[in-house]
Structure 1
Amino acid sequence: MNKKTIVALYDDLSGAERALSELEAANLRQDFTMMGADSANLGSSASLATENRLESWRHAADFGEDRNFDARDRRVSMLTGIGVTREDADVFAEGVRRGGVLLVGRVEESMCDSALAVMQRHGSVNIPGRAQGYREAGWSGYDAATADYDSAQVAEERRRAAAASLRDVNTQGVNTQGANPAAGAPAATPTAAPTAAPMGTPPGRVDVNRE
């Protein structure tokens, strides 16, 4: 049976954890991995550490020998290696550099829409919108030579993201960075490496078809 690889970016660990909890409750938590700048500590909360879930998620992500994002120079290649476009991989990697967390999953095609809905419901980032925001602030692409944000920078980045999300709600009636993102942006539609598949998946994740 065909499986799909799904990638979502969250601004903090709590959103990814909530999504994983709901995926588990719905019997959809199969082959999911959290990836962040400090992946070794992503499972430090009691609910995760109790069952050592993070380790199984790492192995399920199919990243070969590189199962976390601690090495800045490997982040983009790890993502493109599972079918994410270079453009989206840059945004995902930059989000991780700024304190975000990726949720990566391999799910049966028949369960994909349900899993995507859960991931979106818990605040997955609108990738085209986030890329636009980065570029408007002078960003030109992910640079592996640039250090990851420290805790103070991460906190400020999250405040900016929250403020941008609120502005979107007030001006458009749609939260393009949270649980109800706008539809139609090309970078967030389902993609089958190396060519794009039909439109239809709301922004916030990249859904990569794989055999």
Structure 2
Amino acid sequence: MRTVTGLFDDYGDAREAVSDLEAAGVPSDDISIVANNIGDRYSTDGSNAAEGAGTGAGLGAAGGGVVGLLTGLGLMAIPGVGPVVAAGWLASTAAGAAAGAIAGGAAGGLIGALTESGVDEEDAHVYAEGVRRGGTLVTARVEDSVAPRAEAILKQRKIVDPAARRSIYAQEGWSRFDENADPYTLDQVDRERERYRSMMP
């Protein structure tokens, strides 16, 4: 098995990537999505979303089963990131418990879950920081033979190049994700999104 991961600046692109992976035959149980939910933007996106993300609410369904991963979105809080909507195995592992458990200490868990599944640690820090700054992370566990197709699906949906993004962050003095940092405010996230939008060709 291999883990393929993509960070997206646009939540819509991430949603489409999840749908494309499912359409390509990747089981919902093997896909995860974690999206920054500052400003409560996506709380009504899934049928299991509930109030209380800012204080560490329950995660909701871990997988969407036959109806798809995105219908299983739940709310949780990640230290250093703030409120997120999330679903899937990575979100459950990061929360340190099965679906429905109370989220706590999930930031280190997110990086740990990524690295334990084969994601490079430097990239894992970029991914966590990317979510902190308003992004969405999509991760899938796939058979080795399916990995090239899964990676191509993510690339079709405008994934962030982690090396390029690390370079941008480093120019601001950033070196690694800090779970003790204050989460970004809605205004900061909006500015961050606008900055990356202006970099698009």
Q: TM-score range by the shorter chain?
A: 0.5 to 0.7
Residue 158 of structure 2: aligned partner: 123
Within 5 Å, which residues of 2 pair with 1:91-130? Answer: 91-130=126-165
- TM-score using structure 2 length: 0.68
Residue 153 of structure 1: aligned partner: 188
- TM-score using structure 1 length: 0.65
C-alpha distance in 1 between matches for 2:116 and 2:128: 13
Query: Could you say if the C-alpha distance between residues 74 and 91 of structure 1 is closer, same or farther in structure 2, counting changes exceeding 3 Å?
Result: same
Corresponding position: 1:164 with 2:199: yes
Within 5 Å, which residues of 2 pair with 1:79-98? Answer: 79-98=114-133
C-alpha distance in 1 between matches for 2:43 and 2:4: 20
Deviations 1:10-32 (A, max 9, x none): 11321110111222333335411
Aligned residues: 164
Q: Which moved more, 1:117-126 or 1:47-56?
A: 47-56
Structure 2 unaligned spans of 5+: 50-63, 74-85
Residue 44 of structure 1: aligned partner: 44
Deviations 1:93-132 (A, max 9, x none): 1101101111011112221111111111001101000000
Residue 13 of structure 2: aligned partner: 15
C-alpha distance in 1 between matches for 2:35 and 2:152: 22
Structure 1 unaligned spans of 5+: 167-211
Residue 97 of structure 2: aligned partner: 65
Describe the SS at the equivalent of 2:5.
strand
Describe the SS at the equivalent of 2:2.
strand
Letter paired with 1:27? G
Residue 183 of structure 1: aligned partner: none
Provide the identity percentage.
Answer: 32
Letter paired with 2:113? M
Deviations 1:167-207 (A, max 9, x none): xxxxxxxxxxxxxxxxxxxxxxxxxxxxxxxxxxxxxxxxx
CA RMSD of aligned residues (A): 3.3
How far does residue 52 in structure 1 lie from its aligned partner after superposition? Answer: 6.5
